[in-house]
C-alpha cells in the first residue's frame, strides 16, 4: 500500500511526511504498520523485516496466518475424507451382516461401498447402492433405515479416527 500522507503522527517524537505504509512484524511477532519517512531518517530501524527502501525480507504475520489457515483447511478436509471413508466401510459391514455374507465377502462388499461413494457428491450414491443390494438379497429395508445407519455409524467412524490419531 504505497500512499503519501501530508500529515502523519510523530515517529520517536519527530513529525515527518510518510512515503509509504507497509505491514511489518516486530521481534515479538506482532504485526505493525511500518511508515517509511521521507525527509528525516529515524535513528531507530523501522522494522527488522523491512530495509529502509521498504522491501520485505521475511514473511509477515498475515502471510503466516494465511498459510496456517490453508494448512488447517487441508487437515480438516483430510479428516472429513477419512471419517467418511471409515463410515462407508462400517455401513458396508452393517449391510453385509444383514445379507449374511461371509467375512471375505463382507470385506469385499465394504470396499465396494467405499468405492461407490466416489461416483457423485453426497451420500445418495451410497444409499442407492446399499438399498439396491439389500433389496436384491431379499432383505426388507428402505432408504430411511439406511440413512439412520449412516447417521449412527458416522459418530462411530469419527470416534475411531480420533482414537487412531
What would the pLDDT profile of 76-101 be if each residue is shown by its tens digit? 999 999 999 999 999 999 999 999 99
Number of domains in the chain: 2
- Grid coordinates standing for 101? 455374507
Is 84 found in the same domain as 121? yes
The answer on 152 and 74 residing in a single domain is yes
Q: How far is residue 80's CA from residue 152's CA, in Å, rounded to a whole number?
A: 16
pTM assigned to the model: 0.61
Residue 32: pLDDT above 50?
A: yes
Indicate the residue among 58, 78, 93 that finishes a domain. 58
Residue 6 has what pLDDT? 44
34 has a pLDDT exceeding 80: no
* Whether 77 and 135 share a structural domain: yes
Same domain for 79 and 158: yes
Q: Of 15, 16, 18, whose CA–CA distance to 3 is shortest?
A: 18
Q: 136-150 pLDDT, tens per residue?
A: 999 999 999 999 999
112 and 160, same domain (yes or no):
yes
pLDDT of residue 1: 44
Q: In terms of domains, do 156 and 83 share one?
A: yes
Residue 81: what pLDDT?
A: 93
CA–CA dist 26, 34 (Å, integer) = 10
What's the rounded mean pLDDT across residues 119-140? Answer: 92
User: Does 155 share its domain with 80?
Assistant: yes
Domain that residue 135 falls in: 67-164
What is the number of residues in the chain? 165
76 and 130: one domain? Answer: yes
Amino acid at each position: 500500500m504505497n500512499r503519501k500522507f501530508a500529515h502523519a503522527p510523530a515517529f520517536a517524537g519527530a513529525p515527518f511526511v510518510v512515503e509509504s505504509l507497509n505491514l511489518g512484524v516486530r521481534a515479538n511477532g506482532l504485526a505493525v504498520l511500518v511508515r517509511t519517512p521521507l525527509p528525516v531518517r529515524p535513528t531507530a530501524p523501522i522494522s527488522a523485516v523491512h530495509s529502509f527502501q521498504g522491501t520485505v525480507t521475511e514473511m509477515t504475520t498475515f502471510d503466516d496466518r494465511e498459510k496456517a489457515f490453508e494448512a488447517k483447511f487441508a487437515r480438516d478436509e483430510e479428516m472429513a475424507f477419512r471419517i467418511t471413508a471409515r463410515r462407508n466401510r462400517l455401513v458396508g459391514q452393517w449391510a453385509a451382516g444383514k445379507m449374511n455374507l461371509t467375512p471375505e465377502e463382507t470385506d469385499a462388499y465394504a470396499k465396494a461401498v467405499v468405492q461407490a461413494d466416489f461416483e457423485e457428491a453426497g451420500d445418495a450414491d451410497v444409499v442407492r447402492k446399499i438399498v439396491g443390494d439389500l433389496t436384491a438379497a431379499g432383505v426388507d429395508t428402505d432408504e430411511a433405515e439406511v440413512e439412520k445407519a449412516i447417521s449412527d455409524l458416522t459418530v462411530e467412524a469419527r470416534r475411531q479416527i480420533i482414537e487412531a490419531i
